[in-house]
């Protein structure tokens, strides 16, 4: 009887994606373009944060945005109307994440030639997007105060993949049972080296610090 051949599909999928992600990064690096992959759960404030951030940076950098959702174009319309940045909508066809191939397709469709900085607003959830390398230069994770201080324990991979964690909606912290020290302890257990920036995308608190972080990372990327 012929021996059954077992194919580890998940391992193969990730390996293929990682190779494509490396190629995407190399292409971006050769053009001096910085891609920031922004991940979070729905309602954490990704689009509001990007809107404020783009308006702080658009006089210095030529900016493009890729908005990924299962359906709809609400976020893309908002970005264009509120910032004037070049933006496109990516529909995932029901998939809960973007992979490197989808990212490359988005960059090509965005016509990123001449852009300095591209934001990828990934599909809203704290699980799937962390599993797939998009080829981004850096990964940002947004957690909002109402979501609770225990999320690094519940969704470890998401926080392990983060280069910067943005704690959003700090203006409402007095009204929620959110312990900042507990959150920082859990975060450092998962990712001791990531940058933590506390912001309120609504009021603008902390956004200048975030803009400075982006500028610094772009300079390092281009060095």
Does residue 17 belong to any structural domain of this protein?
A: yes
191 within a domain of the structure (yes/no): yes
**pLDDT tens, position by position, 22-65:** 999 999 999 999 999 999 999 999 999 999 999 999 999 999 99
- Provide the angle, in degrees to the nearest 10, between the axes of the packed helices 9-31 and 100-110: 30
Supply the range of the domain harboring residue 172. 11-222
Residue 66 in contact with residue 120, Cβ under 8 Å?
Answer: yes
Instruction: Indicate which CATH number applies to the domain containing 47.
Output: 3.40.50.300
What whole-number percentage of the chain has pLDDT above 70?
A: 95
pLDDT surpassing 80 at residue 103: yes
Longest dimension (CA), the chain: 69
| pLDDT-based confidence at residue 4 (cuts at 50, 70, 90) | low
Give the integer Cα–Cα distance in Å for 193 and 139. Answer: 13
Q: Write the CA distances from 177 to 26, 185, 186, 197, 200, integer angstroms.
A: 43, 16, 16, 20, 17
Q: Please give the pLDDT value at position 14.
A: 85
Q: Does residue 1 form part of some domain?
A: no
Please give the tally of structural domains in the chain: 1
Q: Is residue 159 domain-resident?
A: yes
Question: Residue 162 contacts by C-beta under 8 Å, 6 or more apart in sequence?
Answer: 39, 139, 140, 141, 191, 194
16 domain-assigned: yes
- What is the pTM assigned to this prediction? 0.93
Q: Are 156 and 190 in contact (CB under 8 A)?
A: yes
Is there a domain that residue 2 lies in? Answer: no
**Residue 112 · residue 33 · CB < 8 Å:** yes
140-181 pLDDT, tens digit each = 999 999 999 999 999 999 999 999 999 999 999 999 999 999
**What is the structure's pLDDT at 21?**
97
82: closest CA among 50, 106, 110?
A: 50
């Amino acid at each position: 009887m012929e021996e059954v051949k077992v194919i580890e599909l998940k391992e193969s999928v990730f390996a293929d994606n990682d190779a494509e992600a490396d190629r995407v990064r190399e292409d971006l690096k050769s053009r001096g373009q910085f891609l920031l992959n922004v991940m979070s759960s729905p309602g954490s404030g990704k689009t509001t944060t990007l809107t404020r951030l783009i308006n702080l940076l658009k006089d210095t950098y030529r900016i493009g945005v890729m908005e990924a959702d299962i359906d709809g174009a609400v976020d893309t319309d908002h970005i264009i109307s509120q910032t004037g940045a070049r933006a496109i909508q990516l529909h995932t066809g029901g998939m809960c994440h973007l992979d490197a191939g989808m990212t490359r397709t988005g960059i090509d469709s965005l016509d990123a030639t001449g852009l300095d900085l591209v934001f990828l607003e990934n599909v809203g959830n704290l699980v799937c997007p962390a599993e797939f390398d998009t080829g981004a230069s850096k990964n940002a994770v947004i957690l909002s105060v109402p979501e609770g201080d225990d999320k690094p324990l519940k969704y470890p991979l998401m926080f392990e993949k983060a280069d910067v964690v943005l704690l959003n909606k700090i203006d409402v912290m007095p009204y929620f049972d959110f312990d900042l020290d507990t959150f920082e302890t859990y975060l450092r257990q998962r990712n001791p080296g990531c940058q933590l920036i506390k912001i309120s995308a609504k009021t603008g608190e902390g956004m200048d610090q975030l803009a400075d972080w982006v500028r610094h990372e772009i300079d390092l990327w281009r060095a």
